[in-house]
Structure 1
C-alpha cells in the first residue's frame, strides 16, 4: 500500500468539530472556512471523491502554512500534517501551475537546498548590502514590480558577515560525556554560521565530542513540506547515509529536525530504507531537547538580559519541544524570560511560505512583531533560521530595535561569560 492510499483513512479521522479554527493562522487572518484545516480537509475529501484539482482548490492548499498548530489543538488526533503533505504531493503531480509561478519555485528549490550555491551567493550579497545598493533598491520598489516573491527574498536576507568554517571534529572540554553528530543545515549554515559555531561550542563545553561531517547536504525539509516527495526522499537517503553511524544527531534548526524525525514516514514505502530511516529518526534530537536530556555540567554565568522566547512551529507543534528551551534559559542567572502573546500563531515564515505567499506572510510577521515588541524585551530568542529572518524583517518595519539570537548563542554567551553585549548587539 502506498502512502497516498492512507489519505482516505486519515481524512475520516476529522469530526469537523472546529477546535482547530482559532489556532489556524490563515483562518485568524481571514475568517474563511476554506482557509481553515477543517475547510481544507473538506476540499481534500472532494478530491478523493473524484473532484479534479482546480486552481481555486490549490490556492487554499497553498495558503496553508503547514504550521501544525491544528494538530496540537485537535481532540480527535487528526494527522493534518500528514494530510497536507500528501495533498501537496498530489498537487505537484497533477496541477499545472502558471509559468511565472513554476519559474519562481524552481529558482527557490534549485538554490536553497544546496550549500555550495548559497555559498556562491554570499559574496555578491555581502557586497550588495555593504555598498548601499540595498537601501537604494528598497526605496525604489523596483523588486516589488518585478516579483513580490523576489522582493520578499531580498528583504529577508540577514546582514552577512564572514562565515567561520567549522572543523570536522570539536573535542569535548573535560571528561567526555557523549559523542554527537551535528547537522549544519543549508540556510543555517550559510546565513547563520554563528549559530552553528555556538552550537558546537556549547556541546563541547557540556562534555560532548562533536562530529561535523563535511559530506552532509540538505535534509530535505523544504522539499518535504512543499510536496516535492521524490526530491525529499533523495535528500533523506543521502542524510541517512551520512549520519547513520552516529549515536545521536543534534539539530539546531526546527524545520530540519522535524523533517528528519519524519523520515520514518517519508521512506516507509521503501523496504531497503524504511528500517534505516526509522533508526535515524529515533536518534535525532533538537539541541534543546538533547541538552536537557544530558543535563547541565558547565557553569552558567550571569547574563542580565530581558528576553522573549519564540516557539518555532516545527519545534513546538511538530516535535513537541516546548519546555526544554525555556528550562535552558531559566538556568542562566539574571536572564529574565517573558512570554509572547499568541505563541501558537505562526510568524509567517513556514519554510518557503514567506517567499511564495509574501502578502499573508507579511501580515503574520507584523502580528508577531507587535506581540514581541509588547513584551518590552531587548532580545528575542528563536530556534529556527526562517523565524529569525521573518521576525527580524517585521521588527525592522515596525522600527523596533530588538536583538535576535538562537538559544545556542544565548547559552554560549553565558557559558563563556561574554556578557549581555554578546547577544543584544545583533539588533533587528
Structure 2
C-alpha cells in the first residue's frame, strides 16, 4: 500500500491532506490528547444506555473505515476516525472522565455512516455514536454561544408551523434583494458565522405547495401508503412532496398525508437530544397508526433512516417498544417502494432535445450507508428514456450537510462540500439528482461557490416529470 503525500490529489484535482497509512501503527487504548483538556464530568458516562461494551468490542481496529471517513480524510487525525472515536468511547466506558477533547472529537463526526458500510466486522457505529452523543447532551453544559445556537436550531427546524412563519419574510427578502444586500455587508458573519451559513443555505422560495391529505391512486389501487411530509421538506420543498404524491398515485397508490403529523425526530436524535427525539417518534407513530396505511413512505434520507431505527430509540419504552418495531418494519424510502411495486406508469424523456441527457446521482449518506438503498434509485433513473446515468467519484464521501452539521461545523462542512462539487463537475453531468433536502442545499451552495451551478432536483421530481411528459433541462 502506498503512502499518499501532501501533494496527492483526488481525481478532480482537489488536494488531499496526508493521512497515515492503514497499516501504520497507532496508539490504542486510552487516548492521549495534545495540550490541556478540561474535565467536564466524572465518570464520563451515566448508567442510562451508555455505549454497549459488546458493540465496542466488535471493532478490531482493522482500518477499513479510514479511507471512507470524511474527517479522517480532512485531518489525518486518529481520534477523528471511527476507530479512534470508539477508543474514546471505550475509555469513557471504563471510567475515564469526560473531557473537552473527547467531546470535540465526537462532535466533529458527521454521523454519515460510511464506516458502517466499509466495516468488515459489522461494527454498529451508528448506534455507538448516538448513545455517546446522548450521554454528552445530558452531562455537558456547552458554552453559551454554542448552547444558544443549538437552542435556536431545535426551537425552529423540527416545527413546520414555525418554519412557515419564517418562510414569508424570507421569501420577501429574497425577491426584493434585501437578503443579498445583508450578505454583502458581512454583518451576519461578524455576529455569527453559523447564522451566515443558515442564511446562505436557504433555497430560493416560490409559492408554498401543500400536499392533499389524500391523493387517490390512478387506475387500479395497488397499495395504501402513508407519506411523511417532514419539516424543512414540507415548508421549503413542498414541490418535492407534491411530486412524490403524484408519482406514488401514478403507480397505483392511495397516498395518505395526515395534516397533524409532525417532526420524525431525526435531527434531535442525530445530535443526542434523546428525549426530544423519542417524543417526536411517539407522536408520529400515533399519527400513522390511526391512518390505516400499509406502508409509510419517506422522501428524505435522514428522516427515513431515523424512522427505521425507532425500534432501538424506543426499545425501553414498554408502551411503544412493540409498536415502534411494527412501525419501523413498514417504513420505506420512496425508491424502495417504487421498485418493490414495479412500474406501471409510462415514462417519457425529460430533456429538451433528442440528445442523450447525462445525469449524476448523488447518494445521500443516510440512504446509501444507513439504509443500504443504493441500486433502487439508479434502477428508477434507468427507466427514464434518453437518460444516461454517470457515477460521481468518491461517491461514498459525505457532502458535509449531515443534518445540522454544516451549521454547527461550517468550516469542515464547506471543505467537504467543495470537494463534492468538484467531483460532480468532473462528470460533465447536465443534471444532478439526490434524495435528501440537506444534500440539495449543501451541494447547491458549493456549486455556486465553484461558479458552475447545475440544475439539481430530487429523485421524485425527475420521476414525476418523466411520468407527466415534462421537460426539466
Q: TM (normalized to structure 2)?
A: 0.88
Alignment of 1:19-418 (within 5 A): 19-244=64-289, 245-304=292-351, 305-418=357-470
SS of 1:163 mapped into structure 2: coil
Give the superposition deviation at 1:395: 0.5
Give the superposition deviation at 1:337: 1.0
Is residue 300–residue 414 contact of structure 1 (8 Å, CA) maintained in 2?
yes
| Matching residue of 1:4 | 49
Give the superposition deviation at 1:85: 0.2
Give the superposition deviation at 1:137: 1.9
Instruction: Label 1:6 to 1:60 Cα distance change in 2 as closer, same or farther (>3 A).
Output: closer
Unaligned segments of structure 1, at least 5 residues: none
Which whole-Å CA distance do the structure 2 matches of 1:296 and 1:136 have between them? 47
User: Could you give the per-residue CA deviations for residues 107-163 of structure 1, whole angstroms, max 9, x where no partner exists?
Assistant: 000000000000000001001111111222222222111111101100100000001
Give the superposition deviation at 1:410: 0.2
Give the 4+ runs in structure 1 shifted more than 3 A. none
Which whole-Å CA distance do the structure 2 matches of 1:265 and 1:5 have between them? 14
Which whole-Å CA distance do the structure 1 matches of 2:85 and 2:190 have between them? 31
SS of 1:4 mapped into structure 2: coil
Q: Which moved more, 1:2-11 or 1:395-404?
A: 2-11
Which whole-Å CA distance do the structure 1 matches of 2:179 and 2:466 have between them? 34
Is residue 3–residue 269 contact of structure 1 (8 Å, CA) maintained in 2?
no
Is residue 50–residue 132 contact of structure 2 (8 Å, CA) maintained in 1?
no
Give the superposition deviation at 1:218: 0.1
Unaligned segments of structure 2, at least 5 residues: 1-46, 352-356
Is residue 348–residue 354 contact of structure 1 (8 Å, CA) maintained in 2?
yes
Aligned residues: 421
SS of 1:87 mapped into structure 2: helix
Give the superposition deviation at 1:401: 2.4
Which whole-Å CA distance do the structure 2 matches of 1:15 and 1:232 have between them? 31
SS of 1:161 mapped into structure 2: coil
User: Could you give the per-residue CA deviations for residues 309-351 of structure 1, whole angstroms, max 9, x where no partner exists?
Assistant: 0000000101000000000000110011111000000000000
Let me know the Cα RMSD of the aligned residues: 1.2
Higher fraction of helix: 1
User: Could you give the per-residue CA deviations for residues 218-249 of structure 1, whole angstroms, max 9, x where no partner exists?
Assistant: 00000011100000000000000011232100
Instruction: Label 1:53 to 1:60 Cα distance change in 2 as closer, same or farther (>3 A).
Output: same
Q: Which moved more, 1:242-251 or 1:154-163?
A: 242-251
Q: TM (normalized to structure 1)?
A: 0.97
Give the superposition deviation at 1:8: 1.9
